[in-house]
Amino acid sequence: SMKCERSSAFVSAAHGTAHCGVRSLSYCRPLNRPVARSGFKGTRSRQHVPPRCMAAGPGNSEAFITAMSGSFSGAASTITGLGLLAFIVLVHETGHYLAARLQGIRVKDFSVGFGPKVIGWKPKNSETQFNLRLLPLGGFVAFPDDVEVDEESGEERKLDDPNLLQNRPALDRAIVISAGIIANIILAYAAIFTSVNIVGVPRYEYQPGVVISQLTDSKGPGAVGGLKRGDIVLALDGQAIQPTAQCAKDLATSIRGSNGRELLFDVKRGNEQIQLRVTPRCCTPSGDSFAGVQLSPNARVGRVLPSSPIQAMSMASHEFSRLAEQTFNGL
């Protein structure tokens, strides 16, 4: 038998395995057993005792709940990501499909996902089969072949059906091929337009200085020189830093081009203004110096909502252009 430290616990032991279910956050341990003698002289053995088992204490319960919450959160994020990917694929393939059908081009298969078919549907009087497949990691639109095989001779014969994609002029085919990308661009603009009307667009009010947003090296020149996260650099070598969108980039350029010489930082820390001397480490293989800090503009971020549909379209177009530029610059 087993004994539990609290009366609200329940215990069962079988075949040497103990199972504890304890609501009062206690633990279970075996009762003292008398020594059992065997039938052979001079030998003794203890009766098998189920092992001690620990019930979930407050820390263990919280850790378990935290772990399970993290697992559910990760699973939910994965499912959400797959659903979003499937939706983007659906819009992309719909672009191909509509561009073909609006031109009278025949479509054989419209599928979201790859692998085995999960759900299939074929409308009446239509040759297009619509499918949802097992792996939602892509999709495709398939068109009928422009050749058929003679069952008796086995020879291939080219079809002259004008509604086959292969028999259409180059411009028609180009429209079908590019329609998927165009559909995704329209989707992106629609998402930005919706966001602009609901939450607005960010508006930055730049203040003097550059913020030390992070020390990337705790033993780097910046940390050694006394810089701390949250410091605002107001001037470098006596030159005031102007409140612009490029101020952080300009300061980083000055540090990289210092050739390892000592720099004088005018820093605002809380309500105090101090001066710090930092000697950037020189040099990287490209000849740059570095201080081991991450910089960002000193700015307050607000939100601006459009006052009319025309302004909403203008703001959405501006945001679309800005994000597209950032995307291309990051490639």
Please list the active-site residues: 93
Strand partners, 272: 269
User: Rounded to whole angstroms, how far apart are CA atoms 161 and 90?
Assistant: 28
| Percentages of the chain per state (helix, strand, coil), in multiples of 5 | 35, 35, 35
Edge to edge, the sheet with strand 53-54 lists 2-4, 27-30, 53-54
**Whole-angstrom Cα Rg for the chain:** 35
- Report angle CA 195, 200, 203 to the nearest 5 degrees: 130
Q: What is the DSSP string of 57-89?
A: -HHHHHHHHHHHHHHHHHHHHHHHHHHHHHHHH
Chain centroid offset of residue 146 CA: 42
Q: What is the DSSP string of 244-298?
A: STTHHHHHHHHHHTTTT--EEEEEEETTEEEEEEE--EE--TTS-EE-SEEEEEE
Q: What is the DSSP string of 147-161?
A: EEE-TTT--EEE---
Looking at residue 168, the DSSP 8-state letter turns out to be: S
Residue type, 131: N
Q: Do the Cβ atoms of 222 and 215 come closer than 8 Å?
A: yes
**Residues with Cβ within 8 Å of residue 120, at least 6 apart in sequence:** 129, 130, 131, 132
